[in-house]
Amino acid sequence: MKVKCDYCGSYFEDTKAMCPYCAASNNYIRRTTEDIPGTIEELKYYCDQNGFISEKTRFFIDEDYEGAKAFGIYRNASGECVVYKNKSDGSRSIHYQGKDEAYAVNEIFLKLQTEIVNQKNVYKNERINRNNYIEQHQPEKEENKLYAPLPRWAYALGLAVIIVPIIALSIHWHYFKKSMGDDLPRVHAVSHTEDYRSDDSYDYEGSGNGYYNDSWDSSTDDWSSDDWDSDLTDWDSDW
């Protein structure tokens, strides 16, 4: 069944933990799906399988962690599930405390998914910025220099170098022929065709300067929990 996102108004499957269009939490999630943990043990297994270790993500599953900058869930002595957040100053904000384990697990799970989206967005933007920086600061490649346009004076100078000797030679030949008159020997013109061809033996492959790293694209497909930076989390809010 499809549900309507409370934030952007898009429709998506009720089994998804987050809206695929705006990453908002799904408040109508169907918790019976196998894709979403329903118990603390299942959530802990999910994190272990995906490499979301507590030291990196600051999500402490089935643990009453007392240090600063932490999210967590655990069951207290009374059997209640406690979902909490420890702020940067060490103070604790209780997000949920009660007997509904499925609800408690869902709350911390959705928070984890929100943080993953935030981590990926920052990771993506950093890659784009670094890519742009590299492209803007890399030296001009050699092949580009070979075909760089010349200034106008260079063309004029080259043309003069070719035309002036031709004109001078023509004038000299005219007066020479006039002075010789009929004594000038007859010469039959012979056509010689030179085989001019461009030298394509130069290998431009690898002629770049090596500064550009094409692995830095805007994709987040290679993002993993190893890239997690807990300093990106807002640790001063209640949740």
- Same domain? For 123 and 9 the reply is no
Q: Which residues pair with 74 in a beta bridge?
A: 82
- Same domain? For 46 and 121 the reply is yes
- Same domain? For 125 and 49 the reply is yes
Per-position pLDDT tens, the chain of length 239: 688 888 899 988 877 777 888 878 777 665 544 568 999 999 999 999 999 999 999 999 999 999 999 999 999 999 999 999 999 999 999 999 999 999 999 999 999 999 998 888 888 887 777 777 677 777 665 555 555 566 777 777 777 788 877 887 777 766 666 666 655 555 444 444 444 344 444 343 433 333 333 333 444 556 776 778 888 899 999 99
- Count the alpha carbons within 13 Å of 22 in the hemisphere toward its beta carbon: 11
- Same domain? For 59 and 2 the reply is no
Tokens of 50: 């995906």
Query: Does 166 reside within a domain?
Result: no
Query: Does 103 reside within a domain?
Result: yes
- Same domain? For 107 and 29 the reply is no
Query: Does 1 reside within a domain?
Result: yes
- Same domain? For 20 and 47 the reply is no
The domain of 114 spans 37-133+227-239
Query: Does 41 reside within a domain?
Result: yes
Query: Does 42 reside within a domain?
Result: yes
Domain count for the chain, please give it. Answer: 2
Measured between alpha carbons, how far apart are the two ends of the chain, in Å?
29
- Same domain? For 47 and 29 the reply is no
Query: Does 173 reside within a domain?
Result: no
At residue 108, what is the residue type? I
Query: Is the separation of the CB atoms in 49 and 68 below 8 Å?
Result: no
| Of residues 114, 104, 86, 105, the one with CA closest to residue 238 | 86
